[in-house]
Amino acid sequence: MRPRESPGDALPDSDLDVWDSILLPQAAHAGKDNWKGWCEIESEPAYFNMMLKQFGVKGAKVYELFSFDEEMLQSLPKPVHGLIFLSRWQDTSSMHTHAKTEEASKIWFANQTVDNACATYALFNIINNASSLTLGEPLSHFKEFTKSFTPQLRGEAVANFEFVRQIHNSFARRIDMLNTDLCMSIEAEPAKRGRGRNRKSRRNVEETAYHFNAFVPINNELYRLDGLEQHPQSLGPVSESEWLMKVKSDLDQQITRYEANEMESAVLVVAQDPLAELVTQLSWNIKRLQNLDMILDLQFPTWREVYEQDRVEKMNEHLLLGPNEGCGVCEEDLATLQLSQAEIKTTGHTTDDLLLSRTGLADAQARIRMCISQEKESNLHDEAKCHGREFDYSPVVFDWLRFHVKNGTVKDVLDTI
């Protein structure tokens, strides 16, 4: 028998190994891999962004929209691919017209066929209609595979896509899974007694259930893609610049159906990820700086000596003049950029003109790199938030308690609290 450790003793290396190799992974997975349900997801942009990343989607980022004022809308990266609205579920079929059969055939739309999965269905109904996004191999194959399916069959395909379900459930905790299983058990109980499924009335659903649905502009037409409706719902023609305000008008009609203290909602937008565009801007900036330095070296070989050495060093301090892994600029990207004939012209320039242009490019690079740094910091913040949410420590705590109960050390532990 191992001697009882005093409460103040540090864990021995063997116990630390167990913690790192067994307990932490157990906290991360917590039975999710084998669980066949779908958990509810909060309206947290970080969770949606992590889902997009794990799906393999590139070029999209989710933001929370706090208001529809012009300044807020102008600040969104363009294009905005779609909007996700979370609110108490309402039957809005009478407020909109169904898309015509010909139009609907050009829209990727899936019915929601499983409970608690509306976040993923809303996201899918947006990204599969955004032609400028890179979906990644798994979703590209899935989109191609389901392109001829009906909305109902697409919904079933999503529900049975294990890759998607596991990513969706990566934010589930043990209590979430237990609550979901309990609700399913309660709903299934009447069927076991031979009375059929206990269906909730629409009024009860409206009073209790919260639901994500999507708004997407497609071919100059605005559609409401609600997985609980059979078909896409047309909200009429729109332009690229005005469709968000048309969504606002539609949401205002829904919100007026509730009392002010009864309406809780959230609005998320799926917009272009600004990081890729910023990296492209930085690549062009470096290419132009390289070109300017080459022209200066050709026409004025002594330009570095003519101007004070400290001034040149100050100009070059923190200035990128080539590939940089931290900023995402690689040699291959720089090599593919082709400057205009006017930019590569090596005659007709004065040293002062060239240095003035160089200073402008250096200032522009500082601004671009600051924006890249902010975006990367935002992504790290999202990852940290998701990382903490993915861990479920309850199984670890239970195992820890069982260990102390088995070894008779519970009183010693309680005495230290």
Q: Write the DSSP string, 342-397.
A: HHH--SS--HHHHHHHHHHHHHHHHHHHHHHHHHHHHHHHHHHHHHHHH---HHHH
* Start-to-end Cα distance in the chain: 26
Tokens 């012209």 correspond to: 345
Dihedral sign for Cα 160, 82, 389, 115, please: negative
What Rg do the C-alpha atoms of the chain give, in angstroms? 28
Q: How far is the C-alpha of 5 from the C-alpha of 2, rounded, in Å? A: 9
Active site residue 81: no
Q: Which of 365, 369, 126 is nearest to 227 (CA)?
A: 126
Separation of CA 161 from chain center: 19
Active site residue 211: yes
Catalytic residue among 118, 168, 327, 386: 118
Please report how many Cα atoms fall inside a 13 Å half-sphere around the Cα of residue 402, on the Cβ side.
Answer: 6
| CA angle, 263 then 264 then 266, to 5° | 130
SS3 55: helix
Catalytic residue among 81, 96, 168, 211: 211
Helices (H), 212-345: 243-255, 274-299, 303-306, 309-316, 331-336, 341-344
Residues known to be catalytic? 118, 211
